Every structure is written in structure tokens, then in C-alpha cells.
């Protein structure tokens, strides 16, 4: 099973919706590649500059209800095209969460105190997080500190990540 991770982009806001992740005006694209430069272009968050802040990031840490709004899978694709394969949040909108696992990526929900801790202790520094899917643990490193945070992933989601996504899984099972 793959291990994912890398540099962290902290987005300190709840309810970031899929219109903010990838605006509707790019939904006319039928090729995924075209979405790449527009990730988080309309994000309403003070001090955030998508052109600079997304660069070289592989992990997003954010608050609650990430990915709410439209069902567009363009949102996880835009993340994937920018090399971001993990989103860690207090909670996710259902469709977004399912879309992430369907694409073989990770949407990890953590209890609030863990998310608070990530923000409090690490968001001021360059931070890296790696997810060990097998052991269900996140390894966090930044600002001279290290932490290990356990997470849970359902058996089914683990099977989807292992199969490389839902299309392959469903076509071989049903």
C-alpha cells in the first residue's frame, strides 16, 4: 500500500466549498490538466495567495466541512494535479470525501483537538506530514518538533485506495 505525504498547506477556515477549490467557470474543461493552474483560485481567506502558497505542497490541513457545495470531482482532481493527495480536516462534506477515496486519495478526519494541535503547534512553521496507511498513523514534523497522530480509515476506503479507486474495484466485484 502507498504511503503519502509531504509539505503542508494550512487553511485556517471551515466550510471551504468546491466553488472555492475549483470555480464553476472551469467546469467546461473536458481535460483534467486544464484545471491545474486554477486550484483554490477563489478561496476567500485572508493572506492566502494561491499562486505562491500552493507551490510544493502535498498535504492540506484545514478545519471542518471541507469540500461542501457542488459535487464536482474536479475539486479532488485539481488537488491531485497539483500533487496534493491528502486532506486532513475535522470533517468533510460527504460527496467530497467519497470522491477523494474514489480517486485513490486520502481524506482523513481527525478529532477537533488533534486538528487544533496541528494548527497551534505547527502552522507557523514549514511542516511535513506523512500518512502511513497500513499503520493508520500520521507522522508530523515541523519547527523542530515531531508528533505521531493516529487516524482511522474504514476497511472499505482502505480497499479503494489499494485497488487504485472505485472504478477498478467495482468492475472486478460487480
Chain contacts with other proteins (rule: CB under 8 A): 15, 17, 19-20, 23-25, 27-30, 32, 42, 44, 64-65, 68-74, 76, 91, 93-96, 98-99, 102-103, 154-156, 159, 165-167, 170-171, 173-174
Contact of 115 with 91, CB cutoff 8 Å:
no
Distance CA 111, CA 124 (A): 21
Least CB distance from residue 31 to other proteins, whole Å? 8
Least CB distance from residue 53 to other proteins, whole Å? 18
Contact of 143 with 127, CB cutoff 8 Å:
yes
Least CB distance from residue 119 to other proteins, whole Å? 19
The alpha helices in 33-111, defined as continuous H runs, are 50-53, 74-81, 94-102
Nearer to other proteins, 60 or 140 (CB): 60
Nearer to other proteins, 6 or 50 (CB): 50
Cα-based distances in Å from 53 to 40, 57, 59, 121, 139: 10, 8, 12, 19, 22
Distance CA 61, CA 89 (A): 6
Nearer to other proteins, 41 or 53 (CB): 41
Nearer to other proteins, 92 or 122 (CB): 92
Nearer to other proteins, 52 or 174 (CB): 174
The residues facing 107 across adjacent strands are 87
Least CB distance from residue 84 to other proteins, whole Å? 17
Amino acid at each position: 500500500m502507498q504511503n503519502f505525504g509531504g509539505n503542508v498547506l494550512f487553511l485556517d477556515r471551515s466550510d471551504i466549498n468546491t466553488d472555492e477549490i475549483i470555480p464553476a467557470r472551469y467546469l467546461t474543461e473536458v481535460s483534467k490538466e486544464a484545471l491545474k493552474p486554477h486550484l483554490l483560485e477563489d478561496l476567500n481567506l485572508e493572506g492566502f495567495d494561491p499562486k505562491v502558497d500552493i507551490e510544493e505542497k502535498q498535504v492540506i490541513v484545514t478545519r471542518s466541512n471541507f469540500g461542501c457545495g457542488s459535487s464536482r470531482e474536479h475539486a479532488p482532481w485539481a488537488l491531485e494535479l497539483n500533487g496534493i493527495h491528502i486532506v486532513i480536516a475535522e470533517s468533510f462534506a460527504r460527496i467530497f470525501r467519497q470522491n477523494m477515496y474514489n480517486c485513490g486519495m486520502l481524506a482523513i478526519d481527525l478529532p477537533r483537538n488533534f486538528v487544533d494541535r496541528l494548527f497551534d503547534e505547527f502552522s507557523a512553521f514549514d511542516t511535513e506530514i506523512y500518512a502511513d496507511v497500513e499503520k493508520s498513523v500520521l507522522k508530523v514534523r515541523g519547527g523542530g518538533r515531531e508528533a505521531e497522530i493516529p487516524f482511522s480509515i474504514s476497511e472499505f476506503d482502505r480497499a479503494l485506495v489499494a485497488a487504485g479507486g472505485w472504478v477498478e474495484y467495482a468492475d472486478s466485484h460487480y
